[in-house]
Amino acid sequence: MNHSFTLLFAGMLLLSCEQKATTSTRTNEMELQNRIATLEKDNDEKDSMLNNSLEFYNQIRTNLETIALKQHEIKLRASDPEQTENDKDWILGQINYINFLRVENAKKVTKLSKQLNLKDKKFSELEKMMHDLLQTIDAKEFQLAEFQQELSSINHSYARLFDAYREKDELSESLKDELNTVFYSYGTREELIKNQVIEQKKGFIGIKKSIRVAGHLNQKYFSTLDMREDNEIFVEGSKPQFITDHPSDAYTLVPVGKNTKIQIKDPHEFWKVSKYLIVVVE
C-alpha cells in the first residue's frame, strides 16, 4: 500500500513539473511571438517612412528640373526682339509659377526633414541625399538671383516678381536653421531612464537587457546646438557611452578632470545618422 502511494505521489509530482515546464515554454513562446510582432511593426513603419521620404525627395527634384526648364523658356521669350504683350504676360505667369515651386520645395524639405529626424528610424543614405539636395537648392537660388538681374535689364516688372519672393525666401533661411539644429542629452543610466530619454529593452532568452532610445522621447530633457557652429560638447561625468550612433572617427573624447569634452571633428559625419546625441556617464 505504501509503495502504491509513493508511486502515485511521484506521478503527481512529475505531472505537476511537466505542467509547469509546459506553462513556462508557452510563456517564452508568447514573449518571442510578441517580440517578432513588434519587430515586424517597426519594419513596416520604417518601410512606410522610407517610401514617403523618397516620394518627397523625388517631388523636390522634379520641381527643380521644372524650374530649370522654365528658366530656359523665359530666357528665350524675354530676349525675343519681337516680343508681344501676350509673351510678357506669359513670362510673368511663368515667374509666378517658379516662385510657387520654390515655396512648395521649402514646405516639402521641411516635411522631409521632420521625417528623417524621427528617432530609431534613421536612414544615413537619405540623410546624405538630403544634404546634397539642400546644396542643389542653394545653387539653384544663386542661379535665380543672377537670372533676376539678367531679366531686370530687359524689363523691371519681371525682376519685381522675384523681389516679391524674397519675403517668402525667409522661410528657406529658417528652414536651414531648423535642419542644422541638433540635440544632446547626458546623465547616468538611472537619471536618463527616469526622465524618459532611454529605456531598457528586454532581450531574448539568455540575452541580457540592452539600452535604447526611449519609445516616447522626452524632448524637454535635451539641449540644442547649431551643428554649423557648435563643435564642442562638455559632459559632466566619466566613461561616456554613446547610446545614439555617431561615427567614431568624427569625434574625439577629451578628459577634463573628472568630466569629458566631446570634440566634433566632422559635424556632417557626426550628425548624419542621428541628430540626437544621448550619452550615459558614470
pLDDT, one tens digit per residue, over 166-204 is 555 555 566 667 778 889 999 998 998 898 888 876 655
Residue 279: its pLDDT value, please?
A: 92
Question: Residue 53 and residue 56: Cα distance in Å, rounded?
Answer: 5
Question: Of the ranges 19-23, 96-100, 259-263, which one carries the lowest mean pLDDT score?
Answer: 19-23
The DSSP element (H or E) to which 193 belongs, if any, is helix 189-194
Question: What is the rounded average pLDDT of the residues 66-91?
Answer: 84
Is the pLDDT confidence value at 163 over 70? no
Question: What is the rounded average pLDDT of the residues 205-217?
Answer: 65
User: Where does the pLDDT of residue 59 fall: very low under 50, low under 70, confident under 90, or very high at 90 and above?
Assistant: confident
Better pLDDT: 23 or 120: 23
Is the pLDDT confidence value at 221 over 70? yes
Question: Residue 255 and residue 112: Cα distance in Å, rounded?
Answer: 37
Question: Residue 241 and residue 19: Cα distance in Å, rounded?
Answer: 44
Residue 9: its pLDDT value, please?
A: 47
Residue 119: its pLDDT value, please?
A: 45
Question: What is the rounded average pLDDT of the residues 90-109?
Answer: 83
User: Where does the pLDDT of residue 263 fall: very low under 50, low under 70, confident under 90, or very high at 90 and above?
Assistant: very high
Question: Residue 240 and residue 185: Cα distance in Å, rounded?
Answer: 12
DSSP state of 1: -
Domain ranges of the chain: 38-179, 182-280
What backbone phi and psi angles, to 5 degrees, belong to 281? -125, 165
Helix or strand or coil: residue 118? coil
Residue 56: its pLDDT value, please?
A: 79
Q: Which fold does the domain 38-179 belong to in CATH?
A: Topoisomerase I; Chain A, domain 4 (1.10.132)
Q: In what order do the strands lie in the sheet with 241-242?
A: 223-226, 181-187, 276-280, 241-242
Residue 206: its pLDDT value, please?
A: 46
**What predicted TM-score, i.e. pTM, was given to this entire model?**
0.47
Question: What is the rounded average pLDDT of the residues 118-132?
Answer: 62
Residue 265: its pLDDT value, please?
A: 92
User: Where does the pLDDT of residue 251 fall: very low under 50, low under 70, confident under 90, or very high at 90 and above?
Assistant: very high
User: Where does the pLDDT of residue 77 fall: very low under 50, low under 70, confident under 90, or very high at 90 and above?
Assistant: confident
User: Where does the pLDDT of residue 16 fall: very low under 50, low under 70, confident under 90, or very high at 90 and above?
Assistant: low
